[in-house]
Amino acid sequence: MATDRIKKIQAAQLRPGMYVHDLNCGWMDHPFAASRFLVKDAGAIRKIHALGVHEIYIDTSRGHDVAADAPTQDEVQEDIAQQLSRIADEPAQPARVPLAEEMQRARQLHGEATQITRDIIGDIRLGKQIELEKIEPLVENMVDSIFRNPDALLPLVRLKDHDQYTFQHSVSVCALLIAFARSLEMDRPTIKEMAIGGLLHDVGKARVPDEILNKPAKLTDAEFTKMKSHVVQSIVILQNTPGISQIALDVAGQHHERHDGTGYPNKLQGDQISFYGQMGAIVDVYDALTSERVYKKGMPPTDALSKLLDWSKFHFHPERVRQFIKSVGIYPTGSLVRLASGRLGVVLEQHPDKLMNPVLQVFYHAEKKCYIEPEIVDLALPDCHDKVSGHESFDTWGIDAKKWLSA
């Protein structure tokens, strides 16, 4: 595809006869049968505006061009790459213990957290109340693990099974929020409450039928309305949970609000969304974008960060997005990257002061299309002459992500 034919335009510039290449709203469902389509009439344009989308990519080789100047997709991506590079130069917090020392604890915690979240959803469906005293020790342990070394637990949050997505997504949001808050040097009691909110942010899905939650196809308008009701249900459930904090309620009740007021359930905007709700919204979207679902492939983490940065002009607090990227790295732990040497490797660990030069385990040669002897490569060492040339998708190369993310 000639990428110079793909342009980003303002939604207000959209006209019948243009071909939508990307609706640029990857965190939400929409009423269109496909994400790429020819705009046939004004009705379709009204539907797009109703989504709260501000900018859209059009394919000028398949439909009308825009009259005014508009950046190409390549130009947009180059600008975002430069922004990511500037973020990488900012200081970040180091880990406290070696990665190998923390890995076994992290694996056990991830399994325990998934089981506890599954039990919580099951209890709610049986009409039982959430008991925070059963959750707090787990959350404390997760906070401890992230503080010792976030690179142990964070790659595991990318491992999800289709039939356990709801539970594992909640665990992921919890872990990512802890890492995010740690990087902002927030106090431990606040981080704990945010983590509880992250773990419980989707408990309202216990009130959504499984056939909607796990539907492997596009939701109808009625089904999507029912799905969105999970936020209000979460608020009701948590307000009736003894000991729940306002911080946890903000994370759970505001994670679908958007900075420009296009979110739900209350269409809050700007500072009407609490600091914790802003953080929760970013983390929730990032994990959803990078997760494999029945109906879509997960996006490589660096692509997801680029999307968040692009969307931060309207939908997310711009400074919060920059802070989140600092917390996970330009090539987040668990990412697959390509080196200038042609080798592929999975990111094992971040250097907080050198986010463009992480520690990798290389195991595949892209040019020779074959596996090679696994090797640990620290790109920050003075005698290392290799460097990251780009990020990759495990699926593109037919590589089993689970084998390398849980090694």
Q: Which alpha helices (DSSP H) does 37-164 contain, by range?
A: 42-50, 73-88, 99-125, 132-148, 150-153
Q: Are residues 111 and 254 in the same domain?
A: yes
* pLDDT for residue 219 is more than 90: no
Residue 402 banded pLDDT, cuts 50, 70, 90: confident
- Give the count of domains, the chain: 3
| pLDDT the model gives residue 407 | 66
Q: Which band of pLDDT confidence, cut at 50, 70 and 90, is reported for residue 136?
A: very high
Statement to judge: residues 349 and 319 lie in one domain: no
pLDDT value at position 2?
59
Which tens digits make up the pLDDT trace of 263-273? 999 999 999 99
Report yes or no: 154 and 328 within 8 Å, Cβ to Cβ: yes
Q: Yes or no: say if 169 and 292 are a contact pair by the CB < 8 Å rule.
A: no
Percent of the chain with pLDDT over 70: 96
Identify the residue whose tokens are 């005014």: 68
Burial of 154-191, coded b for 16+ CB within 10 Å and e otherwise, reads: bbbbbbbeeeebbbbbbbbbbbbbbbbbbbbebeeeeb
Q: Across residues 283-310, what is the average pLDDT?
A: 90
Which residue range forms the structural domain that includes residue 274? 99-328
Residue 244 and residue 319 share a domain = yes
- For residues 312 and 394, membership in a common domain is answered with no
Q: How confident is the model at residue 52 (pLDDT cuts 50, 70, 90)?
A: confident
393 occurs within a structural domain: yes
238 shares a domain with 170: yes
User: In this structure, are 177 and 65 located in the same domain?
Assistant: no
50-54, 129-133, 323-327 — which is least confidently predicted?
A: 50-54
Q: Does 91 reside within a domain?
A: no
Main-chain dihedrals φ then ψ at residue 172, nearest 5 degrees: -65, -45
pLDDT at 152: 94
Q: Residue 33 and residue 165: Cα distance in Å, rounded?
A: 24
Same domain, 323 and 356: no
| Same-domain check for residues 10 and 155 | no
| Inside any domain, residue 347 | yes
pLDDT single digits (tens) 55-80: 999 999 999 999 888 999 999 999 99
Kind and range of the H or E run holding 401: helix 401-405
**pLDDT at site 30:** 67
CB 389 within 8 A of CB 340: yes
End of a domain among 328, 359, 376? 328
pTM (two decimals):
0.90
Q: What is the mean pLDDT of the chain?
A: 92
Q: Which two tokens stand for residue 174?
A: 């919890």
Are residues 107 and 238 both part of a single domain? Answer: yes
Whole-angstrom distance, CA of residue 385 vs CA of residue 378: 10
Six-digit token pair at 371?
């596996």
Strands 37-38 and 359-365 turn out to be unpaired
What's the CA gap between 216 and 170, in Å, rounded? 20
Q: Where does a domain end: 32, 55, 71?
A: 71
Residue 109 has pLDDT above 70, yes or no: yes
Kind plus residue range of the DSSP H or E element containing 359 = strand 359-365
Q: What is the pLDDT of residue 142?
A: 97
pLDDT exceeds cutoff 60 at 14: yes
**DSSP per-residue string spanning 184-252:** TT--HHHHHHHHHHHHTTTGGGGGS-HHHHT-SSPPPHHHHHHHHTHHHHHHHHHHTSTT--HHHHHHH
Q: Tell how strand 6-10 and strand 55-59 pair up.
A: antiparallel
112 and 67 inside one domain: no
Full strand arrangement of the beta sheet holding 19-22: 6-10, 55-59, 19-22, 37-38
**CA-based nearest residue to 369, from 396, 335, 331:** 396
Residue 393's pLDDT is 93
Residue (of 148, 143, 238) closest to 194 by Cα position: 143
Q: Is residue 209 part of a domain?
A: yes
Token readout for 387 is 């460097």
Same domain, 113 and 166: yes
Residue 236 in tokens: 């009701």
Q: What is the pLDDT of residue 31?
A: 64
Average pLDDT over residues 250-257: 97
Answer yes or no: is 81 within a domain: no
Give a yes or no: residue 87 inside a domain. Answer: no
387 shares a domain with 356: yes
Measured in degrees and rounded to the nearest 5, phi and psi for residue 193 equal -65, -40
Q: Answer yes or no: are the C-beta atoms of 204 and 229 closer than 8 Å.
A: yes
The CATH number of residue 249's host domain is: 1.10.3210.10
- Residue 304 inside a domain? The answer is yes
Q: How confident is the model at residue 45 (pLDDT cuts 50, 70, 90)?
A: very high
Answer whether residue 88 is part of any domain.
no
3-class secondary-structure state, position 172: helix
Residue pair 301/329 in contact by the 8 Å Cβ criterion = no
Residue ending a domain, choose from 56, 71, 86 = 71
